[in-house]
A and B are shown apart, each in its own frame.
Chain A
Amino acid sequence: MTHYDFEVTGSKVARCHIKVDMVNDNFLELIGEIIGPPDTAYDGGKFKLEINIPDTYPFNPPKVKFVTKIWHPNISSVTGAICLDILKDQWAAAMTLRTVLLSLQALLAAAEPDDPQDAVVAKQYKENRKTFTQTARHWTNVYANGPHRECELEKILEQAKNMGFDEHKARVALSSSDWNLERATESLLTS
């Protein structure tokens, strides 16, 4: 395979808080990291990304998904799959891993709820923005090591845990039912 320059030299771009590292000794499997942008629910979180470079790069986009769990309308809360045009039909050969990571950072700052990857999250984003922001901040705190705790939500989660439910499953159920304990319990028991 032909070796293209990925522009990862000096992989840490401190100013933008993005970085790329190799998984093994090849350039085809990479781990990316972006820091959640300030003044968003993702502020200060460290989000890991799995990046796979196809043989046809840069004529086809890299395959990117979130490894760190995240609550965002355009990212699956289950698989981490991303819905972003430049990773699909809007890719251009002049883009680089740097521009991809910066675009993902921008996606965290500006969601597109009308083109969702996760319908449940998108619905909450559109209909109940305050709950959405709290939930996203809570997930950032728990999974991405973000600095902001959501004590109100933690209390509700604690109640579900005391009922014997697995923490992560309880968090997903509560997040998906706008933190209504009764509805979350129901969905946990029927699933």
Chain B
Amino acid sequence: MKMAVIDPAENEVNKNIWIAVGTWRWVANDDNCGICRMAFDGCCPECKLPGDDCPLVWGECSHCFHIHCIVKWLNSQQVHQLCPMCRQDWKFKE
């Protein structure tokens, strides 16, 4: 019976290149924007790419929307600016 002898020195692999893969998500309390119905991980219908150019914003009532969607909604309201989800006065959460 023969035993295979593996020399660790001969089997050494040199790791010269490594490729990092990262993902990101918005941390929101919902999956979709209540105004445009698009996924929060996507962007609003006016934008092409999700990310920092199409950010999410929160109201003090805790509801969350694409910033472009909620600003459009607030601009379309002449008298009271209410959250489209709960009708409380809309205030941006700091």
A59 & B45 in contact (Cβ 8 Å cutoff):
no
Contact of A2 with B by CB under 8 A: yes
Q: Is the CB of A92 within 8 A of B46?
A: no
In the complex, residue of chain A having the shortest beta-carbon distance to the beta carbon of B73: A93
Tell me if A134 is interfacial: C-beta within 8 Å of chain B. no
Query: Which residues 51-105 of A have a CB within 8 angstroms of B?
Result: 56, 58-60, 92-96
What total of chain B residues lie within 8 Å of the partner, measured CB to CB? 15
Number of A-B contacts defined by CB within 8 Å:
33
Asked if A7 lies at the interface with its beta carbon under 8 angstroms from chain B, I say yes
Complex alpha-carbon distance, A58 and B38, angstroms? 13
Beta-carbon contact of A60 and B35 below 8 Å: no
Which residues of chain B are within 8 angstroms of A95 by Cβ–Cβ distance?
84
Checking B36, B82, B84, B87 against A4 with a beta-carbon cut-off of 8 angstroms, the contacting residue is B36
B84 neighbours in A (Cβ, 8 Å): 92-95
Asked if B34 is at the interface of the complex by the 8 Å CB criterion, the answer is yes
Within the complex, what minimum Cβ distance (angstroms) separates B84 from chain A?
4
- For B46, give its contact among A2, A60, A93, A96 (CB under 8 Å): A2
Q: Chain B 6-39 against A: per-residue CB contact (8 Å), 1 yes, 0 no? A: 0000000000000000000000000000111110
> A5-B38, A92-B82, A92-B85 provided; 16 other pairs, C-beta below 8 A?
A2-B46, A3-B45, A4-B37, A5-B36, A56-B76, A58-B36, A59-B72, A59-B73, A60-B76, A93-B35, A93-B76, A94-B35, A94-B84, A94-B85, A95-B84, A96-B37
